[in-house]
Amino acid sequence: MSMSCFHCQEPVPNGISLFVNINEKAQPMCCVGCQAVAQTIVDNGLTQYYQVRTEPANKGQSLIPEQLQKKKLLDEEVLQSEFIYQTDQYKEAILTVDGISCAACAWLIEMQISKLAGVIDISVNATSQRATVKWHDDTVILSDILIAIEHIGYHALPFKANDAEIQNKKHSKIFIKRLGISGILMMQVMMIAIGLYFGAFADMAEHNKVYLRWTSFLLTLPIVSYGAFPFYTGAINAIKAKRLSMDVPVSIAIILAFSASGWATISQQGEVYFESVSMFTFLLLIGKFLEFRARSRAAQVSANLLKLMPMTATKLINNTQQENASEEQLIAAKQLVKGDSVIVKPGEVVPADGIIISGQSQLNEAMLSGEQRPISKTEQDKVFAGTINGDGNLIVKVDQPSSQSFLSQLIRLSEHSQAHKPKLAKFSDKVAQYFVAIILVTAIGTALYWHQHLPEEAFWITLSVLVATCPCALSLATPTALTCATTRLNREGIMTKSAHVMETMPQVNCFAFDKTGTLTTGEFSIAEVTLSDFSLSNGLNEDKVLAIAAALEAHSEHPIAKPFTKHRDFTINAHQVEVISGQGVLGNINEQTYRIGKPNWLLSEQEGHHYKEYSCVLVKVVENNHSQVIASFKLVDEIRDDADKVIEQLNKSATTMLLSGDSQIACDKIKQTIPLHSAQGGLTASDKMEIIQAKQAKEHLVVMTGDGVNDSPVFGAAHVSIAMGCGADIAKSGADVILLNNKLTSILTLAKVAKKTRKIIFQNYLWAFGYNAIVLPLAVCGFITPYMAVIGMSASSILVITNSLRLLKR
């Protein structure tokens, strides 16, 4: 019976006997990496980690000298200026930490790093997978912190927050401060007002009542100045833009009511309505804050370009003392210029766009294409920044600096597409223009009429019109519903970043999907193992064949090699191994020569045709260098379990199509399994955009779902864009919706909640307009006092909020 590694929970391979004494019990380990990490945890008295964790730990990896060198490069001041905040006392950096799977991981990192001398503070957010670290640079340096994190099984890189995220955090703090000050002061003003209105101070001397009025005035002043400031700026900006917004009557009502109450306090004549102004401002501020929060969700999943672009590059410098000799120098990738030569080793990320001048390899361009299948590259072929080198050494001549790389152009294309999103009619914006205009015209007309007939009441009647009919409920109708819907979706693992999603989804009649990582899992698996007659006659079973294949593939970094890893038997080892880039691997096992790779590389044309449907074959070299097939393997990119159900449901009311950069054959296979209406392969980002735009020209509302960076510009062209949570960060940045749970069924949940949200918003508008239709004539006729107007306005707002809260229910 095979054991599982106590640290990472993976099976312990045959022939491995490693243990760590944890809580007085010897626990099995699958490799020296896990053994080292577990021993570090034990040595530091942190074994509680294993009791509180909810997910298996990451597989430990030992640092090699080159990795240490790259970490040291991050200590350069020039590079640190990009991502470090520095004061006279300390340095502070935000790190992106890969591999955090639960709160216990965050706890472990905090406990371990806080023990480093010189570290002032570290806090780890398990949700966003980021750590904020403060340290004294004269005691400990950044590379030491990164290496310490690496030693306990996690990988950290500096995170450079974009300007939008920084601004969102700043605005959020200001909003909370406004809400806090306005809410606290409003409660004080209301306490005084309730006493006055209900006769608690009936026997009070007149000068004491004047004192309370002045107290209310002073308490209200910060509310109408600091608290209501966003409404004033919104109104001024709207007027500058020659349009009317809901901030205009709101600002007029606040200023008039406060000014009138202030004048009544100074002159000691008339009524004061400080409590009305305070409550009015506070309620509207809540609505404003909810709207802001709905828009700023994007900050939680901001793009991390450091994951796409390498920070370092190995530059080749000619040695003048030796002809045709070059020295390797590790530099910052952003310092590369056109004409530089760099060496890209197996597994490394290409640091800049360029041409291969020496070597051949297979590159994973999933960062650009979204497809996992590697592409063979040789001399004079173009390579792109952000792509991952496979199993060969490459020397690349840089032909584009990072600012002009293909990836940078793709980002700019994405931004351009988003700037030209389809203009869907927004009901609230259109109606608000006319509604606000009607309120202002009506208020002016009311003021003129009553000034002629009853001058002493004209101001208060006009104020009642502005307050009673102020579009408070109208302004809350959409953002409160959207916020409640957003909260509900967040519980389901769905992150919405754009308010228009709820409005658009119920009208969608076309759903487009990427293939790899969206309809499929993006990870290869062994679907079929076929043993040859030769292997059966020699007593080889499937387990033995897979172990031999795994021993050879262990020396390859090719994505197709990964599915064999779990079949590794460490009692079987390959020697004299040679990796042939883009073809396969050969080596000796027990003094016998084996090869695994593409059928057309290992077999004759006639034999290769027989195995053309197989991904790779394993052969044994027998007499006269003749190859005898032992087994053939079919590898597949697994289709998501819920893909069939989702497409079936969507087909009932919409068109479904597959748009992929993968081959047409692969797309046709998907279509045979999932009931898609159409499947198109071999597409570039531009091709996908053209197809979506063609659909839109035929009055289709299109949803695009994907996970690759190349989907980002396509996202901008679609009416609604959905990114898988496991996809590239930049794709998530450009998407309207992110499926954090990676479940396609979330699309159905999103559509259901969107329909309910539209219904709720319609009900909110119906009430808001119905209320105003009733109260406007009464206010104009002078039957409603400002106090009654505020109560009615507040009741209307509370009703709208309560109705929106129904969205939180399942």
pLDDT in tens, 255-306: 887 888 888 888 887 777 788 788 878 877 776 676 566 445 433 433 444 4
- Mean pLDDT, to the nearest integer, of 755-772? 85
Indicate the CATH number of 65-160 among 3.30.70.100, 3.90.180.10, 3.40.50.150, 3.40.50.1260.
3.30.70.100
Residue 307 has pLDDT above 70, yes or no: no
Lowest mean pLDDT among 275-289, 320-334, 551-565, 788-802: 320-334
What is the rounded distance in angstroms from the CA atom of residue 255 to the CA atom of residue 224? 8
Q: 491, 414, 169, 171: which is closest to 299 by C-alpha?
A: 169
Per the listing, tokens 């792509």 go with: 387
Q: How confident is the model at residue 122 (pLDDT cuts 50, 70, 90)?
A: confident
Our measurement of the distance from residue 69's CA atom to the centroid of its chain's CA atoms, rounded to an integer in Å, reads: 31
Burial label, 509 (beta-carbon count in 10 A; 0-12, 13-18, 19+): middle
Distances (CA, A) of 492 to 275, 301, 658, 810: 40, 17, 25, 10
Lowest mean pLDDT among 152-161, 341-350, 453-462, 500-509: 152-161
Q: 650, 658, 665, 642: which is closest to 516 by C-alpha?
A: 658
Lowest mean pLDDT among 12-26, 214-228, 731-745: 731-745
Are 337 and 325 in contact by the 8 Å Cβ rule? The answer is: no
Q: Return the number of other C-beta atoms located less than 10 Å from residue 9's C-beta.
A: 13
Question: Which is more confidently placed, 355 or 416?
Answer: 355
> Domain 496-520+640-752 belongs to what architecture?
3-Layer(aba) Sandwich (3.40)
> Domain 310-401 belongs to what architecture?
Distorted Sandwich (2.70)
> Which residues fall within 8 angstroms of residue 148, CB to CB, at 6 or more apart?
112, 113, 116
What is the rounded distance in angstroms from the CA atom of residue 651 to the CA atom of residue 286? 41
Question: Which is more confidently placed, 114 or 606?
Answer: 114
The CA dihedral of 363, 368, 373, 378, to the nearest 10 degrees, is -30
Task: Indicate the residue type of 227.
Answer: G
Q: Which two tokens stand for residue 340?
A: 């530089």
What is the rounded distance in angstroms from the CA atom of residue 398 to the CA atom of residue 384? 10
Task: Report the percentage of the chain scoring pLDDT > 70.
Answer: 76
- DSSP, collapsed to helix, strand or coil, labels residue 665 as helix
Residue 126 has pLDDT above 60, yes or no: no
- DSSP, collapsed to helix, strand or coil, labels residue 642 as coil
> Which residues fall within 8 angstroms of residue 38, CB to CB, at 6 or more apart?
6, 7, 20, 22, 27, 29, 60
Q: How confident is the model at residue 194 (pLDDT cuts 50, 70, 90)?
A: confident
- Mean pLDDT, to the nearest integer, of 599-626? 82
Angle at CA of residue 334, ends 326 and 732, nearest 5°: 130
Per the listing, tokens 């590079």 go with: 79
What is the rounded distance in angstroms from the CA atom of residue 373 to the CA atom of residue 562? 12
- Mean pLDDT, to the nearest integer, of 529-553? 90
Give the sign of the dihedral formed by CA 639, CA 642, CA 648, CA 653: negative
Q: Which residues pair with 150 in a beta bridge?
A: none
Task: Report the percentage of the chain scoring pLDDT > 90.
Answer: 13
pLDDT of residue 293: 63
- DSSP, collapsed to helix, strand or coil, labels residue 368 as helix
pLDDT of residue 320: 43
Q: Which two tokens stand for residue 762?
A: 């319609």
What is the rounded distance in angstroms from the CA atom of residue 490 to the CA atom of residue 667? 32
- DSSP, collapsed to helix, strand or coil, labels residue 557 as coil
Give the sign of the dihedral formed by CA 251, CA 252, CA 255, CA 257: negative
For residue 229, report the phi and psi dihedrals to the nearest 5 degrees: -55, -40
Query: What pTM was estimated for this model as a whole?
Result: 0.50
**DSSP character at residue 62:** P
E strands, 418-544, in order: 494-496, 510-513, 520-531
Are 579 and 595 in contact by the 8 Å Cβ rule? The answer is: no
Residues in the chain, total: 810
What is the rounded distance in angstroms from the CA atom of residue 501 to the CA atom of residue 734? 14
Q: Which two tokens stand for residue 410?
A: 């793709």
